[in-house]
Amino acid sequence: SALSSSMDEKFLKCLLQDSNAPSDIVFTKEDTEFSSVLQSTIINLRFSTSTTPKPVAIIKASKYSHVQCAVLCSKSFGIRIRIRSGGHDYAGLSYTSYDNDQSPFVVLDLKDLRSIRIESSEKTAWVESGATIGELSYWAYQESQNLGFPAGICPTVGVGGQISGGGFGTMVRKYGLAADNVIDARIVDVNGRILDRKSMGEDLFWAIRGGGGGSFGVVIAWKVNLVYVPNIVSVFTLSKTLEEGGSDLFHKWQYIGHELSQDLFIGVSIQPALNKAGNKTIQVTFSSMFLGTVDELIKTVSHGFPELGLQEKDCTEMSWIDSVLYFANYPLAEGINVLRDRTPEPRSYFIGKSDYVKELIPKERLDEIWKWCMEENNVFLVIEPHGGIMDEIEETSTPYPYRKGYLYNIQYFENWEDDSVEASKKHISGMRMIYENMTPYVSKNPRSAYVNYRDLEIGKNDNASNTSYLEAIKWGSKYFSDNFKRLAMVKGVVDPDNFFYHEQSIPPLIMSK
């Protein structure tokens, strides 16, 4: 529902006045650029249709005072706020709202708040939230070819959202999550104050490093540790169909993917394909990054995973920054400047769901899983190992609880181009079928999920004025396990009136004294 026009005017006046902001940071539906600004970082077309609820305004902050002003004006006018950094939220929660009370909302877009300052003597960086993972990787590498950052695999993801939910990629086994490498932060709280680690206190600092974006305030910058990467890393991608022994290799991988050297990451993707005879099969693809040379890689793999039969010709040595391009499927020949381009991913309609696995899936059950995947032509599974340093970090050390004992994460992902409602229904139901069928093989009580692969089907808040901790724990414990209670208690202290609300924000739990 739109604001009444007089309120609209007052709200706009508040935004413009308090911030001394030039009017080109606030865009309303009357502005010709409104749509292009809104769409600029939307990559999931499911939430960019004519029926998708739209904000009453977009505030494109380029200074911290714009963020403060957006929070204070929105609060005093009872308008909700959606915080957007890179816009990659799977459920579009950074730019749309399905709130049942249909409150008007604004999008606070941090895309232009993106400076990165490297402190070379400390090997740290202050990164503003609107910067992308690609930009952070690029500038770390510019500082030194031995500096990198352990984040997720897609360079256009925003550091604001990703670090808020954890963040894992090819260095997760060596250095943990992106959030594990945060040492300070700046946040605008519900009262419009800018707080750092010291002034926010350790509870809030704990909560923002993995408790999911959009619940505690607006993170404007993170201070992160940059990590050591060698001059040369090695990569390989090897695919085997079922006929070529792909199933047995996956079975073996389950034993060792989490146990191999911390320098070695071997991820797996499972995809329907056609075999040489033109029949349907499954292609099991191993994609790997090793922090060392090809010689060392071959030694490590022939010791821990000899069945893979890895040979020198399968492997390529490159710089760490080129491996960032390699995993993003960017052509190496185009060079690393592409990491600064901020060119959005190709847009499509997509849905994702996730699971964690603690016990090996028995060999004889794998065929059943491959059958379901073959029935659904488009769903693919992206499977990423844990283990390594993840086993050494306490499960309460950040809100992300999947540490010792978790072997791997599965992401079910499906994307499509057809904009019809039928296409969308068909794809979503195929995905649900596989997810349901997987129930016996994945973590239980609760069945876990990764907050950065946001999935509103596991449960959500109803509306802002009526969130219930006891209702929310049903889905909240799936993301955060026992850490959910502490998250809700922190929320009860820092935002008791639930201003920072969305469909899966942490509800305030207020303990009576």
Binding residues vs ligand FDA (CB under 6 A): 43, 82-90, 93-94, 110, 129, 152-154, 157-158, 160-162, 164-169, 213-214, 218-219, 345, 452, 502
What residues are paired with 182 via a beta bridge? 224
Least spacing, CB of residue 86 vs ligand FDA, in Å? 2
Least spacing, CB of residue 306 vs ligand FDA, in Å? 28
Question: With respect to ligand FDA, which residue has the nearer C-beta, 251 or 508?
Answer: 508
**Amino acid at residue number 318:** M
Question: With respect to ligand FDA, which residue has the nearer C-beta, 93 or 204?
Answer: 93
- Rg of the chain over CA atoms, in angstroms? 23
Question: With respect to ligand FDA, which residue has the nearer C-beta, 129 or 234?
Answer: 129
Are the C-beta atoms of residues 413 and 350 closer than 8 Å to each other? Answer: yes
What residues are paired with 118 via a beta bridge? 125
H/E stretch holding 55 reads none
Least spacing, CB of residue 453 vs ligand FDA, in Å? 6
Q: Report the alpha-carbon angle 6-7-8, nearest 5.
A: 90
Question: With respect to ligand FDA, which residue has the nearer C-beta, 370 or 507?
Answer: 507
H/E stretch holding 478 reads helix 469-480
Question: With respect to ligand FDA, which residue has the nearer C-beta, 85 or 281?
Answer: 85
Least spacing, CB of residue 423 vs ligand FDA, in Å? 19
Other Cβ atoms within 10 Å of 318 Cβ, number: 16
**Amino acid at residue number 270:** I
Least spacing, CB of residue 110 vs ligand FDA, in Å? 5
Nearest-10 crossing angle of helices 133-143, 320-327: 160
Distant-in-sequence, close-in-space partners of 182: CB < 8 Å, separation ≥ 6: 163, 209, 222, 223, 224, 225
CA–CA dist 77, 57 (Å, integer) = 13
Least spacing, CB of residue 358 vs ligand FDA, in Å? 19
Question: With respect to ligand FDA, which residue has the nearer C-beta, 218 or 338?
Answer: 218
CA–CA dist 422, 380 (Å, integer) = 20
Tell which residue, 303, 443, 296, 413, has the closest CA to residue 351.
413
Distant-in-sequence, close-in-space partners of 505: CB < 8 Å, separation ≥ 6: 212, 214, 215, 461, 467, 491, 498
What stretches of 257-342 show up as alpha helix (H) in DSSP?
Answer: 294-304, 320-327, 338-341
Question: With respect to ligand FDA, which residue has the nearer C-beta, 89 or 314?
Answer: 89
Least spacing, CB of residue 502 vs ligand FDA, in Å? 6
Enter the DSSP assignment of 195.
E
Least spacing, CB of residue 476 vs ligand FDA, in Å? 14
Least spacing, CB of residue 161 vs ligand FDA, in Å? 2
Least spacing, CB of residue 252 vs ligand FDA, in Å? 24
CA–CA dist 19, 89 (Å, integer) = 28
Least spacing, CB of residue 373 vs ligand FDA, in Å? 20
Question: With respect to ligand FDA, which residue has the nearer C-beta, 281 or 452?
Answer: 452
Question: With respect to ligand FDA, which residue has the nearer C-beta, 225 or 293?
Answer: 225
**Amino acid at residue number 341:** D
Pairing of strands 116-119, 233-241: unpaired
Pairing of strands 182-188, 105-109: unpaired
Tell which residue, 128, 6, 23, 3, has the closest CA to residue 74.
3
Give φ, ψ of 84 to 5 degrees: -125, 130
Question: With respect to ligand FDA, which residue has the nearer C-beta, 227 or 366?
Answer: 227
Pairing of strands 218-225, 124-128: antiparallel
Question: With respect to ligand FDA, which residue has the nearer C-beta, 60 or 88?
Answer: 88
CA–CA dist 255, 361 (Å, integer) = 10
Question: With respect to ligand FDA, which residue has the nearer C-beta, 113 or 310?
Answer: 113
Least spacing, CB of residue 503 vs ligand FDA, in Å? 9
